[in-house]
Structure 1
Amino acid sequence: MADKNNKSSIFVWEGKDKNGRLAKGELSSKSLALAKAELRKQGISPTKVRKKSINIGGRGKKIKPMDIALFTRQLATMTKAGVPMLQAFDITAEGMEKPAMKDLLGQIKNDVAGGTNLADSLRKHPKYFDELYCNLVHSGEQSGALESLLDRIATYKEKSEALKAKIKKAMNYPIAVMAVAFIVTGILLVKVVPQFEEVFAGFGAELPAFTQMVINISEVMQEWWYIVIFGFAIFIFVFRKLLERSQKARNKMDLFILKVPVIGQIIDKSAIARFARTLSTTFAAGVPLVEALDSVAGAAGNVLYREAAIKIKEDISTGQQLQFSMRNTNVFPSLAVQMVGIGEESGALDEMLDKVANYYEDEVDNMVDGLTSLMEPMIMVVLGTLVGGLIVAMYLPIFQLGSVV
């Protein structure tokens, strides 16, 4: 209860200064009475003082990982330039466009101003600052090298978010192809095929099987289109909930994605890059290798590499070298294992892991660009096949009628 009572809050105030001019602003204080007393000390006659409402993650203004990456970079830059921590928070918050982000930084600043260390202040917001982030900040505070650690964390967050953006870009193209294909097919079945069906009704002859199948599908779509759309939406909703709540389902999905042509290779290389980047960052921060592998497992992003990190941790605990542990998992490519081996032998493991991460991030970048080029003709092929198939189905009876005549 004592901690709760000592927690500072932000108060919004309005009043008049010593010269009688209207003034307003914000003030951090532990209570309304103390806020008013502080204003009077500053020569302000308060007319209105109220606690500022906190609205983190409001509609349309949710805090995204890239916002956290931007904040980390700005904080790292200012602390490295010698700007005091509290002032750095004020400057950073002022430059943020999202009110939710301003409020989040205000809460962290208040905790720090109240005597809480930065790592513990960040831990109060696990939605935005994960265990790895907080542990690295804690290491920086303990070692007295917070400035350099923040710079390293900023680089890690920027690289991680850039990699995630590339993965999303790679995944969006197949989804776009499928969406366009469904929309075009639906329009043709509901609007175009019925026109041909009226013409065929006057033929008085049996239609080809392919044509009849398309007409049957068209009739179902005309009659039950809302049920088809609703059913598809329900399927997507249930599938997403299943992935959110079932670790087993997520694991199976992770393994399935790795087997998908092209996409699987991109996910695989991105997982290697994430593994190397996380291990490089934590190891360079002075975290023991065994403990660092816990963070690596948590940030792996794929069950195959998460289990590999856990297996490597067990091997390292028994005194085995990292390169041999990685090779024994049969997950990592020979190039990554050899580069790690060179890093171990030369005593520059963090630098070599950083090179591994850069190499595979570049590979992902190139593969995503290649996929983009590949998907453009793929869209044409898919749409051409669908539209062409429907046209052939509609004209088959006319061709047959012409041959009879």
Structure 2
Amino acid sequence: MALFHYRARSSAGHIQQGQLEADSPAGVARRLMGDGATPLEIRPASDSSTTSSGAGGARARKRKATGRPRLDDLELFVRQMHSLTRAGVPIVRGLRGVAETTHNARLADAVGRMADALEAGRELWAAMRDEPKIFPPLLVNMVRMGESTGRLEETFQQLAFYLERERETRQQIKQAVRYPIFVLVAIAAAFVIINVVVIPAFAGMFERFGAELPLPTRILMATSDFTVAYWPWMLGITVAIALGFLRWIRTRRGRLWWDRSKLRLPIVGSIIERALLARFSRAMTMASRSGIPVLDGLEAIGRAVDNAWVENRVDEMRANLERGESLIGAAAGTGMFTPLVLQMIAVGEETGQVDDMMEEVARFYEQEVDYELKTLSSSIEPILIGIIGAMVLILALGVFLPMWDLGSAAL
């Protein structure tokens, strides 16, 4: 939890400011909106270089955050737009205010360009489409349908919920894998220290006695000698392989293979798959309720799931629909969906309530992901214990066996 300064407009139109404790700026915005206030500015309490008024403070904030907007930034932007549209504030005026109070420089610049585009007569969704590095396709298409149907306020509310859920899922994944990563790094560091420092010290002592060493000790000493002699080459090759792999997965073919392989990973693969299905179901629910045609919605959803293999399957599903197949037939032909999802799609297609059925699917898989993430550490712990036990066994056999032999020879 962190402390944030805020400035907001109450339901009566009065400006109010103060401090609130929350996990992110979006959390402060949710609390203010729950009290009926419209957030105007939210910044960390430790940010003493900014002020609640004046362009200089806004420019200072922009200089501090120049990276790509995070989910927190997009969620806060969407919640601000929902509050402004609900209060009847003109879009151009609202965008100008959001640009002045946004902490991220790239998002602030993009919002300012959007306000200029609207003043030139363009639509909001078209201005957002011109910022593809800021706004995902799903957000653009949702805003497009919200403008065309006159339900822009409801659209922003749905987007805020979607982004909030997405952010919480990513935070849960980070928290779940933090401990295993720390343990694996510690194991790797211990392995390097043992090979470079510990084993050579024992090797010198064993050589002075001239005794015949057991096989585990000879293997450890050979491994240690190789590591000490060729560690620069090993480091260089490892870095080269890592950089080559990262470059390859940025290609279309490499990303498709990597995104498919992630779904086959032990333990975490099923969690990633459920999270993707939940994201697909939630996005399809939003698209359906916003009046987006199925084909247009699937095109946007495929890009929004952030997985090349799933995007490929969704494109295949879209192609099957264009050939005249039913929704359930097109979904079953992809081989991506579980029987539960297919059953819900079939019921929704028969009753004309696909959005309600997909919302139930999204809730089900979100609950599954929450449970799996909470138990992820306990699932990985036996594997980590096994790795540590194997290292201890190897060291015990390699170090203590010759010491016992030397003790017997001395006796």
TM-score, length-normalised on structure 1? 0.78
RMSD: 2.9
2:238 maps to 232
Q: 1:249, 1:75 → 2: CA distance?
A: 38
Amino acid at match of 1:301: D
Match for residue 331 of structure 1? 336
- Partners in 2 of 1:75 and 1:295 — Cα distance? 21
In structure 1, the residue matched to 2:162 is: 156
Q: CA deviation at 1:60?
A: 6.7
In the alignment, residue 320 of structure 1 is paired with which amino acid? E
CA–CA separation in structure 1 for the residues paired with 2:286 and 2:180: 33
Q: Report what 2:138 is aligned to.
A: 132
Note if 1:253 corresponds to 2:252. Answer: no
Tell me the CA shift for residue 239 of structure 1. 0.7
Give the letter aligned to residue 209 of structure 1.
L
- 8 Å contact from structure 1 (residues 73, 155) kept in 2: no
2: distance between equivalents of 1:57 and 1:345? 54
Query: Could you say which structure has the larger radius of gyration?
Result: 1
**Which residue number corresponds to residue 186 of structure 1?**
192
Check 1:390–1:299 CA distance in 2 against 1; reply closer, same or farther (3 A cut): same
The 3 A distance-change label for structure 1 pair 376 and 298 is same
Relative to structure 1, is the Cα distance of residues 96 and 25 closer, same or farther in structure 2, using a 3 angstrom cutoff?
Answer: closer
**Aligned counterpart, 2:29:** none
Work out the CA distance in 2 between the residues paired with 1:357 and 1:116: 35
3-state SS of paired residue (1:259): coil
Q: From the superposition, tell whether residues 60 and 222 of structure 1 become closer, same or farther in structure 2 (CA, over 3 Å).
A: farther
Letter of the 2:245 partner, please give it.
Answer: F
TM-score relative to the length of structure 2? 0.77
Separation in 2, partners of 1:395, 1:57: 59
Query: Equivalent of 2:148, from 132, 142, 156?
Result: 142
User: Structure 1 CA distance, aligned partners of 2:290 and 2:281?
Assistant: 14
Query: Which stretch shows the higher mean deviation, 164-173 or 215-224?
Result: 164-173
Q: Give ranges in structure 1 of 5+ residues lacking alignment.
A: 1-23, 28-51
1:205 aligns with: 211
Task: State the Cα distance separating 1:26 from its structure 2 match.
Answer: 4.9
Give 1:231 shift. Answer: 2.6
| C-alpha distance in 2 between matches for 1:331 and 1:100 | 36
Q: Does 1:348 align with 2:379?
A: no
Alpha-carbon distance in structure 1 between the residues aligned to 2:405 and 2:65:
59
Count of aligned pairs between the two proteins: 357
Asked if the contact 2:107–2:134 (Cα under 8 Å) also holds between the matched residues in 1, the reply is no
Q: Secondary structure at the match of 1:159?
A: helix
CA-CA distance at 1:135 after TM superposition: 1.9
1:221 is aligned to 2:216:
no
Q: Is the 8 A contact 1:140 1:285 kept in 2?
A: yes
Task: Measure how far apart 1:59 and its partner are.
Answer: 7.2
| Aligned-partner Cα distance in 2 for 1:166–1:301 | 18
Deviation of 1:291 (Å): 1.9
Q: CA deviation at 1:141?
A: 1.6
2:192 maps to amino acid: G
Q: Using the alignment, how far apart are the partners of 1:73 and 1:59 within structure 2?
A: 20
Map of 1:65-144 to 2, 5 A cutoff? Answer: 65-144=71-150
Provide Cα deviations, 1:332-385, integer angstroms capped at 9, x if missing partner.
112111222222223221122112112112111211111122234433332232
User: C-alpha separation between the residues in 1 aligned to 2:381 and 2:136?
Assistant: 38
1:40 alignment partner in structure 2: none
Task: Confirm whether residue 322 of structure 1 aligns to residue 294 of structure 2.
Answer: no
CA contact (8 A) 1:279 1:292 kept: yes
Q: Deviations over 1:10-45 (max 9, x none)?
A: xxxxxxxxxxxxxx9559xxxxxxxxxxxxxxxxxx
- Runs of at least 5 residues in structure 2 that lack an aligned partner in the other structure: 1-52
Q: What is the identity, as a one-letter code, of the residue corresponding to 2:89?
A: V
Change (3 A) 1:59 1:69: closer
State yes or no: 1:365 paired with 2:370: yes
Q: Deviations over 1:131-169 (max 9, x none)?
A: 222122122222222111122222222223333444455
Q: Quick one: distance in 2 between partners of 1:368 and 1:121?
A: 38
Superposed, 1:49-68 pairs within 5 Å as 61-68=67-74
Amino acid at match of 1:365: D
Retained in 1: the 8 A contact 2:55–2:100?
Answer: no
For 2:256 and 2:299, locate their aligned partners in 1 and report how far apart those are by CA, in whole Å: 18
Amino acid at match of 1:160: E
On the 8 A contact 1:311/1:329 being kept in 2, the answer is yes
Alpha-carbon distance in 2 for matches of 1:247, 1:388: 44
Q: Is the 8 A contact 1:170 1:263 kept in 2?
A: no
Match of 1:299 among 286, 297, 304: 304
Provide the secondary structure at the position in 1 that maps to 2:263.
helix
